[in-house]
Structure formats: structure tokens, C-alpha cells
Amino acid sequence: MKIIGVTAPSTGSGKTTVSLAITHALENSVSIKVGPDYIDPIVTRASTGHDTYNMDRWIQGRNYRDRIDLLSLNHSYAVVEGVMGFYDSGSTMNVSTEYYFSRLKIPYILVVDVSKLAESAYHMARGFINRRCVGVVINNYFGDRHLSMVQQEFLRHGIRIVGRIPHDAGLAIEERHLGLNVESGKERMKQVAPRVAEHLDMEFIERSAAEYVPRRRVVPPGQSCGPLRIAVAYDDAFSFYYASSLDFLSRHGQVTFFSPIANQSVPDADMIYIGGGYPEMHSDRLEQSAGTKEWILAHHESGRPIIAECGGLMYLMDTIAMNGARHGMVGLFHGVVNWEKKVTIGYTRLRCDRASVMFRKGDTVMGHEYHYSTISTDLDPSLTNVIGKGINGKDGLTDGNAFASYSHFDLQRYGERVIRSALRASKDK
């Protein structure tokens, strides 16, 4: 497998659009996203038809390369999209794009938004160009004269231009919160990706990709090797999952997707997993889906495990309060979700004060949170935030074999305990 990276001086420069275009143009390619991003991978999957995998050593631990090693068995190319700006980390651990590209020896393309720049574009960009940079993409230029002013400095300093993308509203993707708009993005990128690729020197980009060498001999995992039936919520309200988590679950049983919005259930499931998303945007329909809520509560009463993250946590509470209205949710955990305009986002490190279906007492675990809500509850969470906000500095509500948190976790790293619980419950059915 060959590998190529895409980065930019700052977020909002167009690196996601360029990454998608390259992935679309390269045959048998896979997309890899640096950092804990859920939204862009959903759009990528809609455009390419393949899962996008995250690479994040904070969340995945020292084995963050394992998934890439496996992907190298079945793909000809990997396109790695960086996070934020090239050097941005914002963490006590270096999780910048530059770190990964350097450690994995990934050649990269720098995307430069020149909409408010001319000759200065080169002088701003040169701090992001090192020996692994194979060239730049000039993005968002206004007309031939503007392009000429921008590119002359790059060419004069020997920097190859591998793409020139004009300002075109038809190539723009509406953003929502910190990522691409999920609803419009999925459909638009199917049309936009091939159009953007026409502005790129794909022959040169293909030649510039480097051969990726796995760290050790890679043995492909087998198909489902377990008897479990695992129900995963997936619809417009719940769609934020790490692909590696879903792969992990698939290795332990049959994953069946269900839609809480559509009032669906999986009555014989051994485990329920409800990820993040936008439940607040669909609170009316979720409130009306009585069948799904009754099934979840019955599943919980039977002692079978339930794991919920962020949006899933919100859904399992009593109520979501937003814009003066209150909507009844599942009620597995007592408390009220209050919608806020201010975002809470960042990596989390948590100490486990009390054992749960997910973690042992004394464990230190690493995750990520991204939410526009707070929770009012008298319950005592099982985790304490060393880093992060959670529920007033704590996280991880537990009740029997149910666990719900604001933090997202990679089940590839932390899921073995809940699988063992699901297997025990399955034998007791």
C-alpha cells in the first residue's frame, strides 16, 4: 500500500475536500483521519463507499498504527488527512499532524486557502513546508490574475504546485459546528469530489505516495468469531462511531443496526451500543418512539450490557431541555440534559473510582468529548475527570450493566470487559 498525507496551515483551508477528491480519484484507496473526528468520516464514507479510520494515539494508545497495518493488506492507497493546522496539538501529548507524518514517514500535500492573500501566501505557508512536503494546492483563488500573483512566489522558491482550485460556490460544503454538515455533506461530496479532482495533478500525486511498511508481520483477522448479537443505534440522531470500534464488535458477533428515530428494536440482542450524534435535533421523534425506549429498558432489566456515549448518554437520561421545550427520553438514568450554546470539546483522561461494565476500579482511561449540553443529576458518576469536563468534572453513569458517558472511547482498546459481560449474559438467557 502507498500512503500520502494532506494538511494545511489552519482548519477551514479545504483539506477535507482535497482529501476526499484524492481518495475518490485513487483506485482502491482508503481514507484515514488524524484525530478524534466523527463528522468528516461520515461524509467520506458517503463519497467513497468505504469506512474512514481514525489515527489517534491519545485515544488508541501505543498501538495506533495497528489499523493502518491491517488496511495495508487490502488497499492500494491510503490518504491521511491531518487535524487542524499542521503543528496544532493542544495537548500534553504531541498529537499533531506533523508528529504522525514524521513518525510514519508520510509525504504530504499542503492546502493553502488564498482567498485573502496574494504573494503573502508563500511566506505564510513556508513554515509548514519541510522535506516531506511534495507540493501545495492553491485553494480558493479569484481569477487568473489572482492565481498568477499567488503562484509566482511558490514557483520562484521551487515549490511545486500540485493543484489549483478556483473559488466556486458549487465546490463549497456547508459547515456545522466543528465539522462538515452531515446532512448536506454526504450528498454533495458525491458530486464535488470528482470535480475537485479535475483541478489536481493526480498523476504526480499518485507518483509521490510512499510505500507504507507495516511495523511487523500482519495477520488479517477472521470474520465474526463470536456468538453475540450486538445492536448498534445508527440513524440521523446517532452516527458518531470510530470505525475501529465497529470492527471490534464485528469480530465478536453479528452487528445489527437499528434506528431509535424509526422506533426500531433488536429484541434478541446481547448488547446495545448507542454512540454520539445529534439527539437534540430529533428529540420530538425520539420522544415518540415508545417501542425503542421500552425495549432498551427491558434489555437493561434483563442484565444485558448497554454502552452509550455522548448523544447516547443524552438519550438515556430522563429529559432533554432545549429552547424552552422538554422532551422525554428513555429514563434509564435520572436527570435532565440542558442544551447550551457553548461547546465543550477536547481530549479526556479519567480515573475510574468505581468498577463498571466498561472499566475496573483504579483504571486510567483516555477519551474525547464534544458536546453542547450539560447534565443536571443527583447520580454519582463512576469516573473522575483528570482532564476534561464531563458531568461537572465527573463522568460515566452506571446502573447494573449499563454505562453511559460524555467521553467517547475506542472499543478496540477498551471493549474486552463489556464483551465478556455480554457473553455471560448471553449464556444466562
- Annotated catalytic sites, by residue? 310
Q: 40, 179 in Cβ contact below 8 A? A: yes
* CA distance linking residue 252 with residue 274, whole number of Å: 17
* CA distance linking residue 211 with residue 33, whole number of Å: 18
Cell numbers found for residue 199 = 483541478
Beta bridge partners of 228: 253
Burial status of residue 155 (CB atoms within 10 A of its CB: 0-12, 13-18, 19 or more): exposed
* CA distance linking residue 240 with residue 278, whole number of Å: 9
3-state secondary structure of 292: helix
* CA distance linking residue 400 with residue 403, whole number of Å: 8
Beta bridge partners of 346: 369
The DSSP letter of residue 357 is S
Of 333, 340, 288, nearest in space to 315 by CA: 333
- State the Cα angle at 250 between 252 and 299, rounded to 5°: 70
Q: Name the region of 369 (left: φ>0; alpha: ψ -120 to 50; beta: rest).
A: beta
Residue 48's contacts (CB-CB under 8 Å, 6 or more residues apart) are: 20, 23, 24, 29, 31
Catalogue the E-assigned strands of 353-382.
Answer: 364-376
* CA distance linking residue 203 with residue 201, whole number of Å: 6
